[in-house]
Amino acid sequence: MNWPEGGDDPDWFPPHQIYVWAREQGKAIDYAREAFMARFGRGLDLASDGVMRAVAAAAGLDGDEALAVAHDPEWKDRIMAGFAHTREDGAFGVPLFIYRGERFWGNDRLDWLLREVARSRGQEVSNLATDPLAPVYSA
């Protein structure tokens, strides 16, 4: 892991706008993987034009078109509409997962989510009330 130098967060809207566009192109996972590696693998400023263009191209997208999306206010409006929708769903922070109507908020609840998924598949899971550090699946 290579934390970006400077310590300042970039303007997160432009790279997220590209992500939404990439999702429509069927390249969401590819773009997210490349963006993560640029930010945390190489310590780059994910909101700089050159990095956004290169990340998009590495994900198999047109870099110039991605850059246009990054600076298009209509795509920012789409991000804001997504925020409004998640607030209506009761989201108040990240990560938040909603599984079968139940909310699991925070990294410390990922095990609870995995247990619920396993339980819904008919698998036995450990009881966190008696052993809070038990593995997800019972042996």
Residues 73, 26 within the same domain: yes
One domain, residues 81 and 102: no
pLDDT, tens digit (0-9, with 9 covering 90-100), for 23-73: 999 999 999 999 999 998 999 999 999 999 999 999 999 999 999 999 999
Has residue 5 been placed in a domain?
no
Q: Are residues 98 and 115 in the same domain?
A: yes
* Residue 48 confidence (pLDDT): 93
Residues 50 and 21 in one domain: yes
**Closest to 82 measured CA to CA, from 134, 19, 128:** 19
pLDDT tens, position by position, 84-122: 877 777 777 778 888 998 888 888 788 888 888 988 999
User: Which two three-digit tokens encode residue 46?
Assistant: 């994910």
Whether 71 and 124 map to the same domain: the answer is: no
Bridge partners of residue 137, in order along the sequence: 125
Q: Are residues 81 and 98 in the same domain?
A: no
Domain count, the chain: 2
For 104, the domain range is 90-139
Amino acid making up residue 77: D
| Strand ranges (E), 36-138 | 96-99, 102-105
Residue 97 contacts residue 103 (beta carbons within 8 Å): yes
Looking at residue 10, its amino acid is: P
Position 7 scores a pLDDT of 64
Residues 56 and 114 in one domain: no
